[in-house]
């Protein structure tokens, strides 16, 4: 699938933030812990979700869509029939170890895929789950897991990763007793998973902090309907689109607790915006606001811009500052310390006329302000770097072509249709 973008158009109107792709993936995996029926409301229809559904259906999970609601009911699981092709396309398949370790003494999972961002070692997952008594052996194309005698534990994570934390949580849920997870990620998708499990009756203390206390139980058997939280990365996509097109738009249902640092940085750069009063999301926990953007003149920050675990700037929001920096007067240093290869993908913006310097695999300089120009670009194999190229094309006056947008479709539902609803001009075509 390819996109033709007529850039240089002012955006106008209202857009509603979608629910979280990352939240959905964790909760879909966690639904295996529940013998009852799980209904997840407002699940994004994106490639990453489709691949996970294909994996679960192949091992015997009953799944059906009702518009955007997903109904999941585990049946008799059979891992011998697992859809390896779909499993290899999503890194989230690694999060199946946490639930499946409770139902199989020995099992195998295909090695996972996902964005090409460098050395994304899965060692922290293994270090965490080994505390419960799990043994994991990495083969050339699979992970071989042995789970004979599981026990609760108290341990620190090797790194404060989102999916690592989620896997560790799911590993604790069906082991009776008290488990303490230290150096846990308190990020939005982890909180969403905890809220879901709490609604299932699991006692979890410390949600939103770096220390989680989980009281495991023998069984979960409950029919549940859960509303996913909104996606701060989706909100940031449209904030960035408004900045690059110098537009006034309203972005509704933005999860403000996970955007405060980003908005503060932008405010110090000169971005003008207005927030509504805070209100609760449909799950009753998440805090939302509506954001109205205004045309602004930006100046580069003197300090480097980098991500940190929550409550710092979100790792997935950092790339947006790369394309935003093209419109800020002065030089911006983006320090992408998490991934070895993501900053390399940022260099694709040069094809649109951006003035950048890749100092090394983690440090990326952007010189602004630059008038971006239309170009033809093939999407890099990474979701957020691909998204910022699309945003840059919205700014570039003239016709741009963005080819092979599977990377974007992994994380954004109907993105061209949503942008067109606020007066962008994008055509989808295939060759």
pLDDT tens-digit map of 186-231:
999 999 999 999 999 999 999 999 999 999 999 999 999 999 999 9
**pLDDT band with cut points at 50, 70 and 90 for residue 348:** very high
Identify whether residues 28 and 14 lie together within a single domain. no
Identify whether residues 96 and 242 lie together within a single domain. no
**Mean pLDDT value across residues 24-46:** 97
**Mean pLDDT value across residues 361-385:** 96
**Mean pLDDT value across residues 343-351:** 97
Return the minimum-mean-pLDDT range out of 84-98, 143-157, 163-177, 214-228. 84-98
- Please report the pLDDT score of residue 119 as a whole number: 43
What is the residue-averaged pLDDT of the chain? 95
Identify whether residues 213 and 258 lie together within a single domain. no
- Please report the pLDDT score of residue 111 as a whole number: 82
* Closest CA relative to residue 21, chosen from 310, 409, 319: 409
Identify whether residues 255 and 403 lie together within a single domain. yes
Identify whether residues 182 and 218 lie together within a single domain. yes
8 Å CB contact between 313 and 265: yes
Identify whether residues 164 and 52 lie together within a single domain. yes
Identify whether residues 133 and 241 lie together within a single domain. no
Domain span at residue 39 reads 21-227
Identify whether residues 216 and 262 lie together within a single domain. no
Name the domain count of the chain. Answer: 2
**Top-confidence residue, 158 or 91:** 158
* Closest CA relative to residue 306, chosen from 267, 340, 270, 265: 265
Half-sphere exposure of 42 (CA within 13 A, CB side): 15
Model confidence pLDDT, tens digit, residues 110-120:
887 555 444 44
């Amino acid at each position: 699938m390819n996109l033709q973008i007529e850039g240089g158009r002012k955006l106008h109107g209202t857009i509603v933030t979608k629910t979280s792709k990352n939240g959905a993936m964790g909760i879909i995996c966690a639904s295996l812990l529940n013998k009852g029926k799980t209904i997840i409301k407002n699940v994004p229809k994106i490639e990453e979700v489709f691949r996970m559904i294909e994996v679960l259906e192949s091992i015997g999970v009953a799944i059906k869509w009702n518009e955007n609601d997903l109904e999941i009911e585990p049946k008799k699981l059979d891992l011998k029939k697992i859809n390896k092709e779909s499993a290899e396309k999503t890194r989230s398949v690694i999060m199946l170890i946490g639930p499946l370790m409770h139902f199989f003494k020995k099992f195998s999972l295909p090695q996972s895929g996902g964005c090409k961002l460098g050395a994304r070692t899965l060692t922290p997952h293994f270090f965490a789950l080994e505390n419960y008594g799990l043994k994991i052996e990495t083969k050339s194309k699979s992970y071989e897991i042995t789970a004979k005698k599981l026990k609760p534990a108290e341990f620190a994570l090797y790194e404060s990763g989102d999916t690592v934390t989620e896997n560790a949580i799911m590993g604790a849920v069906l082991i009776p007793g008290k488990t303490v997870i230290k150096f846990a990620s308190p990020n939005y998708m982890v909180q969403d998973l905890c809220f879901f499990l709490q609604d299932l009756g699991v006692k979890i203390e410390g949600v939103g902090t770096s220390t989680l206390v989980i009281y495991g139980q023998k069984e979960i058997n409950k029919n549940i309907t859960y509303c996913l939280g909104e996606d701060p990365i989706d909100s940031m996509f449209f904030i960035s689109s408004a900045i690059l097109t110098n537009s006034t738009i309203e972005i509704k249902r933005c999860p403000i607790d996970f955007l405060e640092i980003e908005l503060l940085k932008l405010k110090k750069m000169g971005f003008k915006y207005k927030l509504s009063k805070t209100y609760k999301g449909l799950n009753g926990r998440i805090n939302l606001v509506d954001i109205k953007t205004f045309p602004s003149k930006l100046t580069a920050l003197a300090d480097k811009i980098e991500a940190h675990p929550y409550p710092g700037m979100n790792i997935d929001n950092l790339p947006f500052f790369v394309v935003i920096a093209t419109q800020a007067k002065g030089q911006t240093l983006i320090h992408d310390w998490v991934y070895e290869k993501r900053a390399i993908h940022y260099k694709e913006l040069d094809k649109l006329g951006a003035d950048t310097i890749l100092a090394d695999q983690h440090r990326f300089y952007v010189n602004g302000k630059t008038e971006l120009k239309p170009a033809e670009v093939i999407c890099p194999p990474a979701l957020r770097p691909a998204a910022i190229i699309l945003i840059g094309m919205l700014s570039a006056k003239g016709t741009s072509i963005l080819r092979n947008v599977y990377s974007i479709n992994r994380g954004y539902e109907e993105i061209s249709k949503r942008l067109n609803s606020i007066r962008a001009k994008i055509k989808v075509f295939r060759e």
